[in-house]
Chain A
Amino acid sequence: MKAFLMLQDGTRFYGEAFGDVKNTVGEVVFTTAMSGYQANLSEPSFCGQIAVLTYPIIGDGGFENYDLDPNRVSVKGVVVKELCESPINWKNRCDIDNFFKKFGIVGIKNIDTRALTIKLREDGVMNGMICLDEPTQEQIDSLNSYKIEKPVHHVTTKQVVKYQGKGGKKVAVLDFGVKQSIIDDLVARGHEVVVYPATTPASEILAGDPDGILLSNGPGDPKECLDIVENVKQLVGKKPIMGVCVGHNILALASGLDTYKLKVGHRGANQPVKNLATGRTYILSQNHGYAVCEPKDDSVASVYFRNVNDGTVAGLEYKNAKAFSTAFCPYVLPGPMDTQYLYDKFENMMEGK
């Protein structure tokens, strides 16, 4: 079905809709990852957004994982150039069109994604609407006023989930949209993991007497989580804390630092990040639109990692609390990209070292 993407400034990109075909408003962002669309679109990071995928053929592998929590598959729309009509993958269980239908995602294909990406790069991310017909004034108003509200609250777990440990520590995970791989990593290291809903009061978490607290990754503006920030304030200093992605931002806000919206964001599989202590650079997958402002001085925290391309803060070590955070998730696959030592660091903190 013919459709078009209309940006907030009125620019239109014509194509064809697929998946759960309907009018949809979202914040339009692009990601330059060449592979990995399945994982990307299955996770909460794109909550409330319309994702533009710059790689020109999408869908070659269909989807391997079909049984997902619909709350967490939270991307609103997806913009592609060519949709692969005959997915080939020996583990494929579902093609992209059906996956989108199941999870209520609208896709739009045959779009000049490069032109769109360059526009977003130059003008910054903005709202957009996938339209099937000429939009009404009301729809245009909703497009202009659209804001992703409390995405973390939307995607977080509704109940506490526990994972058995094996002689390790007890880790409380505040779920802002946590990647299953982070939980799997902690469990694999022998820890008992308790995953809490994002808004769980501090007292309840502390009552569980964890050895450490992990503030997880998740979507959106950390300032949409001010209630959570207040909560986290009460955790800082009490227990060792490791923050990743949005957890990094929330920890910063809770510690009196500030965050801001990046013009374009860091979205892709090739974001270089440098560990200032060791000089090593890691190429990491990232997906976020907000960063921590440069601290005025070292009194609260010192910069631990930086993004090599734009010099933005990508990690912090806190002075007066046992806490550190990174703007990315530890890269967990074996090899020299391995940032598993971040878990080691967390464990050392929990050990009291």
Chain B
Amino acid sequence: MPRNKDIKKVLLIGSGPIVIGQAAEFDYAGTQALTTLKNEGLEVVLVNSNPATIMTDAEMADRVYLEPLSVDVLKKIIDIEKPDSILPTLGGQTGLNLAMELAETGYLEEKNVKLLGTNTLAIKKAEDREAFKETMEKLNEPIVEGTIVTEVHEALEFADRVGYPVIVRPAYTLGGTGGGIADTKEQLAEICEGGLKASRVHQCLIEKCICGWKEIEFEAMRDSAGNCITICNMENVDPVGVHTGDSIVVAPVQTLRDEETVMLHNASLKIIEELGIEGGCNVQFALHPYDMSYAVIEVNPRVSRSSALASKATGYPIARVSTLVAIGYTLDEIKNAVTGNTYASFEPSIDYIVCKFPRWPFDKFVSADRKLGTKMKATGEVMSISDSFESAMLKSMRSLELNVFSSEVNLFSGLSKEQLVDRLHVQDDQRIFCVFAALRAGVSVQEVYDITKIDTWFLNKFATIIKNEEKIKAEKLACLDKEYMLYVKKLGFADKAIAEWCGVSEKEIRKMRVDMGIVPVYNTVDTCAGEYKAYSDYYYSTYQTQSEVRKTDKKTVVVLGSGPIRIGQGVEFDYCSVHCVWALKKLGYDAVIINNNPETVSTDFDTSDRLYFEPLTNEEVLNILEVEKPEGVFVQFGGQTAIKLAKTVHENGYKIFGTTFEDINNAEDREEFDALLTQLDLARPKGKTVFTAEQALSAAEELGYPVLVRPSYVLGGQGMEICYNAEDITKYMSIINLNTQEHPILVDQYIMGKELEVDAICDGKNILIPGIMEHVERTGVHSGDSIAVYPATLDKDVVENIIETTRKLAFGTKTVGLINIQYILRGKDLYIIEVNPRSSRTVPYISKVTGIPMVQLAVRCSLGEDLASMGYGTGLHPASSYYAVKVPVFSNEKIPDLEISLSPEMKSTGEVLGLSKSYPEALLKGLLASGIRLKDGGIILISVADIHKQEIVETAQAFSDLGFELYATGGTAHVLNKNFIPTNVIGKLKDKGDNIETLFASEKVCLVINTPTRGHDSTRDGFKIRRMAIERGITCMTAPDTANALAKALKLKKKDKDLNLVCLGDIKND
């Protein structure tokens, strides 16, 4: 069936900010969908609140709305734009839920708007627990049996029927408190009784326990004619029990018998046929390790994280094909873009192994609970491709940028066999390394299997890695003849690791290897295992014989990507990398990208001219540079990941476009930088460089408390903290020293003031400042966690000073391209906190608001063009008549035990933007978009540190005036009441009778304002109050400035339906 000609204008709903569980994969999916719809000649309207994405560029759709994602906003957009259809299945769970809610209101029918793709009934059947159960029963497809009980005997009866073991999950307790696995009647009675007590509603879900079964996923696709295919199957290395987003995943399945693969393949097709899916769909199974029984765990009737992975793993563009199916095409009418002459109605065949490894935030959240379970905790992931499992696994491990270059990590060295076996029982992010350590220590494959239920096929492969690692360690260079070197390179061993074991430098191993003629070749991801000629320039390295790289006559430039999404380095840097690629293509270069993140636009095979899906390590980057022989390399757009590679690029004789390696280094080097500031006569908080705790203490004494401590070479403020006293310093240094410190620790004076931020473009002769941003929170809060307002409201002389200082710094650091500077403004005095000669988190949002294509200009400057001739002027760009307020979004509820209070250490995972001509409305939009919605007349609980008690009065007054009921703990209540703000006193946690806990239980609390006294002490009341709020889904603000901003925004008394919506394209015309 060709395209449905009734469809003329489509509204696409995005997935909103990046949070744990919903990351950049939906920028990739949405961008692909928008491009596809536009190529079909349709008019497209996009709504998404996330400004850091490619999809929200004004050029990506006919009309782009950066607005809060709510039903009322959608209704308004429908009124304004009058689309005839909505595409709901490409914006993650957020987009799907919104579309469903909207459909339920009857508004779509009223306005004659169709939902494209999978219909609402099918979505219900997949998403609604009961409907899903019924559907599966009808199909005779097994599901995990479960029941809700309120009495112990009900649980026992259920278990008798389905058999032990069973899982007890108490309802409404977070992190599974009170639950557990029961193998016997006695255990079940005990656990269930505890669980019922722990549950707020006195309910437990009892499920048949299938922990230890294999977890298998199928990505399937169906069109309106009923043609069904599966695109990719995947197997979790970690068995059922760990969320698939937290599991190491391989594609295709490795340990299934043919019969089992066929059985699940057919089950998935049967399911999507019955549901009547039109588009992509993901089916998750649990498969018993040895008796063919299985259960359908979940069906996602939409494009998902797994489908992004499957797309990148096979080359099959699931989002694009889903979109085409949604507008009426059948699979046999859609060309396979990879081969160019076959069709989308086939099942990709792959001739390599893909491995996905999650990236967790525990390197930053050191005190958070690292255990993995049914709730996802990873912020991002990496993927690797190779022709052996061992190599795919090792490649993915080194892509994580956790300084892992072999299967051995320091953490477990020195532990005894018994200790390791004990540790194997702990299912956390480090367990995979423990598995390696245990096997290395001689624990048998069978014993490791018995504890972990990781299939012995995988464990045997691990053992192969370990055996060869140990061989090299023992025999060193002597064993590395040509044949063995080739063998271990095929296994994926890193030069760096081999070098360490042999006691020589990485350079020496590389030279030895290259002299032996052992260099990688690049094979193509072609969807068809070589059966047809492919036109995709999508490569991965192997140590095989024949390279497939297709070069052209054009000059080549390599762009280094930003790797996995993690706290501090999010989708913004992918945005910058992609724009760099686009700019280069426009200038007539062949743009090559190296990256390893399967969620992103940059790793879509038709974004760049050539894509290398490889780890971003010295070795792998150099290998590619040797093949590509580029004119030069861009390192300024890929975040710290790319910057870290600058040295290798430079030392091997490749040109770095833009700011040179020496100048990048000088800006990052404390002493060089201090010297520059002195020379330029610019002020910064005084500071010292230290290595030991003693030095840190004396430095703090000298500078005066409070001081800011952090490691040099920072990423998102890693390990940064304000220390108020000697005790804080001692504690901080003891944590930092857990990890080896190659670089010194910086101790700085803490200056309280207003934080300002500037991104500028420099060609060496002129600068262009698109805009100045002002942070709502005062210094001490990481810039990534602050609400940022553009344009800043500042006195004229301050603005002049900022322009001049920025110019001095850009010239002083010899920046060519982008530079990001953070300032503190105290009175009229400007202090410099940080200068980064590279792209920053704020580049996408400022580019969108000002209409200045910052990355493109930076690229052109770096290639030698004159900034002044680019048509955007120099100096400070005139401020927009719109305010743009960037509000951070956190995933605090996903990480139990995390200290949530704002600090110099970044914690947010994403951001949203509020746009309006009025500042309070822009602020309100940003806050609403970030998910802050207070119930009218609800309770606000205030409990602030002594230093904030006076300050909070004004804010409290505002909330009180707005009709909220105020509760406060003793000291705070006293101050508020003394200021004539009616406030109820509430007891602390330990107090008998009415206390904070009972107040929470009333379910009327809609906001908690709690500023931390200090430290990360999880036993303190403040910490507990904050966690209680988060776990109940209550907004919790920990900085007085944020609370004050919220009060200011709420004074507008506007709801979603009252907001003035702004189309991004209209800003320029205003």
Binding site for B on A (CB under 8 A): 30, 32-36, 38-39, 54-57, 60-61, 64, 81-82, 85-86, 88-91, 112-115, 117-118, 121, 264, 268-272, 274, 279-281, 283, 308-309, 333-337
Contact = CB atoms under 8 A, between A and B. Distances in A.
Nearest to A278: B225
A308 B532 CA distance: 13
Nearest to A33: B349
Contacts, number: 150
Given A60-B255, A336-B269, A81 B460 contact: no
Interface stretch (B86-94, B340-348, B897-905, B1019-1027): B340-348
13 contacts: A32-B351, A55-B349, A57-B389, A112-B544, A114-B387, A114-B530, A117-B530, A121-B533, A272-B343, A283-B229, A283-B347, A308-B332, A337-B228
Given A60-B255, A112-B546, A264 B531 contact: yes
Given A30-B530, A270-B528, 6 more contacts: A39-B258, A54-B351, A57-B353, A117-B530, A283-B229, A283-B345
A137 B528 CA distance: 37
A4 B977 CA distance: 90
| Interface residue SS majority, chain A | loop
Contacts of B457: 60, 86, 88
A292 B229 CA distance: 26
B267 interface: yes
Contacts of A61: 257-258
Contacts of A280: 225-227
B16 interface: no
A321 to B, nearest CB: 30
Ranked 10 nearest A-B pairs via Cβ? A335-B266, A115-B546, A32-B529, A90-B290, A117-B530, A270-B347, A32-B349, A54-B529, A88-B457, A112-B544
A114 to B, nearest CB: 5
Interface string B452-466: 000111001000100
Interface residues of B, number: 56
Contact of A336 (B270, B330, B346, B464): B270
Given A82-B388, A112-B544, A336-B226, A308 B270 contact: no
Contacts of A121: 530-533
B331 interface: yes
B53 interface: no
B258 A281 contact: no
B262 A281 contact: no
Contacts of B265: 335
B955 to A, nearest CB: 60
B523 interface: yes
Interface string B400-435: 000000000000000000000000000000000000
Contact of B257 (A64, A113, A336): A64
A82 B460 CA distance: 15
B349 A268 contact: yes
B638 interface: no
B532 A309 contact: yes
B1048 to A, nearest CB: 57
A34 B270 CA distance: 21
B979 interface: no
Nearest to A309: B342
Contacts of A113: 351
Interface in B982-1026: none
B352 interface: yes
Nearest to A268: B349
Contacts of A336: 226, 228, 269-270, 273
Interface in B778-806: none
Contacts of B532: 121, 309
Contacts of B195: none
B146 interface: no
Contact of A32 (B255, B269, B270, B528): B528
Contacts of B456: 86, 88
B544 A114 contact: yes
- Max count, chain A CB within 10 A of own CB: residue among B226, B258, B331: B258
Given A57-B353, A115-B546, A35 B261 contact: yes
A305 to B, nearest CB: 12
A279 B332 CA distance: 9
Contacts of B253: 35
| Interface residue SS majority, chain B | loop
B239 interface: no
Contact of A57 (B226, B342, B388): B388
Contacts of B741: none
B260 to A, nearest CB: 9
A40 to B, nearest CB: 10
A85 B468 CA distance: 15
A280 B227 CA distance: 6
B254 interface: yes
B460 A86 contact: yes
A280 B345 CA distance: 10
B545 interface: yes
Nearest to B289: A90
B863 interface: no
B350 interface: yes
Contacts of B228: 336-337
B570 interface: no
A121 B351 CA distance: 15
B252 interface: yes
A268 B273 contact: no
Contact of B269 (A89, A91, A269, A337): A337
Nearest to B350: A34
A88 B229 contact: no
Contact of B332 (A35, A38, A89, A281): A281
B531 A281 contact: no
A268 B229 CA distance: 15
Contacts of B254: 57, 60
A88 B459 CA distance: 11
B346 A308 contact: yes
A38 B258 CA distance: 8
Interface string B543-563: 011101000000000000000
A268 B348 CA distance: 10
A335 B530 contact: no
Contacts of B227: 280-281
A180 B845 CA distance: 64
A86 B343 CA distance: 37
B813 to A, nearest CB: 47
A6 B234 CA distance: 36
Contact of A35 (B258, B267, B289, B290): B258
Interface in B434-480: 455-457, 460, 464
A309 B343 contact: yes
A279 B389 contact: no
B65 to A, nearest CB: 38
B265 to A, nearest CB: 8
Contacts of B528: 32, 270
A283 to B, nearest CB: 5
Contacts of B269: 335-337
A280 B273 CA distance: 13
Nearest to B458: A88
Given A334-B266, A336-B226, A117 B531 contact: yes
Given A55-B351, A56-B387, A272 B346 contact: yes
B257 A89 contact: yes
Given A36-B258, A82-B388, A334 B346 contact: no
Given A34-B252, A279-B225, A309 B266 contact: no
A36 B253 CA distance: 13
Contacts of B255: 60, 88
Given A88-B457, A90-B289, A308 B267 contact: no
Nearest to B341: A309
A38 B545 CA distance: 28
A295 to B, nearest CB: 22
A117 B529 contact: yes
A58 B545 CA distance: 19
B36 to A, nearest CB: 21
